[in-house]
Amino acid sequence: MPRPYLVTMGGTDIHVDCEQWDSGDVPPSVQHVLDQAQVIALFSEEAKAIVARLSDRWADKSVVVPQGIVLPPAEKVQPVISYADALKKGYRILLPSGLRRVKDVLHLLDAWQQLYSHLRGLKVTIIGERLEADVADKVQDACRTFPFLQYHEPVPFKEMGKIYAQADLVVNSSLQEGQSAALCEALGLGIPVIARNNAGNRGVITHGETGLLYDQPEEFVRLVLQLLSDPVKTQQMVDKAKAEFHERFNPDLEIERYLSLLQTIYS
């Protein structure tokens, strides 16, 4: 008799693969794994809805278990949140992402160039592993062309806190996203975030309350200036995001939920 098991799904397997399938297009191997699983655990309600669309029998055994996020050790984080300080001290945007097409890391290049006309001290840093050579080449070309843009090699997790501590804004520009650990880390550390409006990012950010979502690059400049024009509101948003992070993405709660599910399966 097959041993009972639980399947965890998140990231591109949901928001790229599953979202592109119709119910009749699901590969037989995937169908078999999900049919035989006792529980399907997903990061968000939106991910659960995607799986439910593919099959009612999978919907009945799907549950939401937000991933637990362990924050990197960080120095004191004090992002610039006013326009006056941005003019005086500069403004640093951080985009943590592997260099591959789905991450679309140069999607905001025109917006950054426009923002640079407002803030001459703008610095944009893309940090992440070179996963696709053609994307890495385009990033290197852009860094040579635009004075505000730089690429940073990936660093060990324990050193990411130092990188975050230098950021005034963390950005996600992915075409599709699961549940971005970088966005969650920024929320937990108290750094403002602006992310592309996709299913995964909507599952992490409540627009206008814990962060901001954009649809088109031209919106990005307006949203950055909006953050800097009202530092009191921005600080309130950052504080709410930080408090929500500790409620939603607590690793201890994730462990408890999985232990409970596994006990149900094996009881």
Report the SS3 class of residue 127.
strand
Q: Does the pLDDT value for residue 9 go beyond 90? A: no
Model confidence over 19-47: pLDDT tens digits?
Answer: 677 666 788 888 899 999 999 999 888 88
User: What does the pLDDT read at residue 12?
Assistant: 63
Residue with tokens 């843009």: 149
Q: What is the largest CA-CA distance in the chain?
A: 68
Q: Does the pLDDT value for residue 11 go beyond 70? A: no
Half-sphere exposure of 256 (CA within 13 A, CB side): 5
Model confidence over 157-180: pLDDT tens digits?
Answer: 999 999 999 999 999 999 988 789
Measured between alpha carbons, how far apart are the two ends of the chain, in Å? Answer: 16
User: What does the pLDDT read at residue 51?
Assistant: 87
User: What does the pLDDT read at residue 25?
Assistant: 78
Give me the helices (H) in the chain, please. Answer: 12, 19-20, 28-36, 45-54, 56-59, 83-89, 109-118, 133-145, 157-165, 181-189, 199-204, 217-229, 231-248, 251-266
Q: Encoding tokens for residue 196?
A: 């592309």
| pLDDT above 90: percentage of residues in the chain | 74
Task: Give the residue-averaged pLDDT of 125-153.
Answer: 97
Q: Looking at domain 83-248, which CATH architecture does it have?
A: 3-Layer(aba) Sandwich (3.40)
